[in-house]
Structure 1
Amino acid sequence: MTDRIDSPARVCPNCDGFPAVAVTLGGRTSAGHLRTITVHCPKCHGLGTLATRTTALAGGRA
């Protein structure tokens, strides 16, 4: 009897698995640090992966 194999998660095609990045706003704070904001991928919502497709094609083989 074989073990159940879970399919690997699909990497998001928009961010290639790097869902959150720091973007500089330009300039520096009074302490000398760069001003940055964190931006998340809009497709995967900051997860880096997408859910696997579970729907079958119409007329496909079982």
Structure 2
Amino acid sequence: MNSRLLGSFILVVQLGSFRAAADKLHITQATISNRIGPTDNSHLYRVAAAESLYRTS
């Protein structure tokens, strides 16, 4: 995993959308999607689910 992938993913989780993360990073939504989408990131999705549960508690 590289730092760009992780940073992009964290922003998507924190901001709640690919579009908002892309705007914050001054890149396109497609770039964010390409960073996160093409690899097996199932462990990242578990982190996102945990983050989501934490926010609703």
User: Shorter-normalised TM-score: what interval?
Assistant: under 0.3
Higher Rg: 1
Name the TM-score, length of structure 2 as normaliser.
Answer: 0.20
Structure possessing the higher relative contact order (Cα contacts under 8 Å, 6 or more residues apart): 1
Higher helix share: 2
TM-score by length of 1: 0.19
